[in-house]
Structures are given as structure tokens and as C-alpha cells.
Amino acid sequence: MEYDDNQLIETVDQDGNVITFVLYDIVEVDGQEYALLLPSEDADDESDEGELVIMRLSKDGEDYIFETIDDDDEFNKVAAYIESLDDEEDDDEDE
């Protein structure tokens, strides 16, 4: 998975703080799209140790809305899917 420095996303947390993310990837699970985001300060870290944030994507006309995932089952399903992608990448690198 690769990220594009030009795709910066700004969100506001519950305390009103603006957080800037880099859009790392978009995955689809059970017909729903999810954004994989890296906090912009972690995106420059070459070690791949940055904290990945998963948000549900909804469409509002032409715009996307980034929503937190409050349902633990939904979050766990998406996280498991992402881990399976990482496992496939690791298997491909071993060949």
C-alpha cells in the first residue's frame, strides 16, 4: 500500500482540535468503503510504525464524509480484513 502526500484529510476531534491525515488507502469490506489514514506527522516516518486510523467513508453528493466506527464488530471486521491484506503482501515478498 502506498500513500499520496497530496491527499491530505483534515478532521476535527471531539475536543475541537484539527488533525491532518494522509490518505494511505481505501478498502472495501462488505460493500462499505473505509479510509486508511496516517496522521501527517507519522506519514514521514519511514519505519512503517505509524498509527493507522480507520474511518468509514460515506458519500454526500460529490463529497466524502469520514466517520468514526463506533461499532466494535464492524471495526474488528475491517481490521481483520486489513491484517489479511498485510499477510498476503508478506507472503508475496517471501516468494
- Cβ density class 5-28: b for 16+ within 10 Å, e for less: eeeebeeeeeeeeeeebbbbbebe
Q: What is the pLDDT of residue 63?
A: 87
- What is the predicted pLDDT for the residue at 85? 85
The pLDDT value recorded for residue 81 is 95
Angle ∠(5,2,34) on CA atoms, nearest 5:
90
Q: What is the pLDDT of residues 39-77, one digit of tens each?
A: 887 555 555 566 889 999 998 898 888 999 999 999 999
Looking at residue 48, its pLDDT comes to 54
Task: Give percent of the chain with pLDDT exceeding 70.
Answer: 77
Residue 52 gets which letter from DSSP? P
Q: Name the pTM for this structure.
A: 0.76
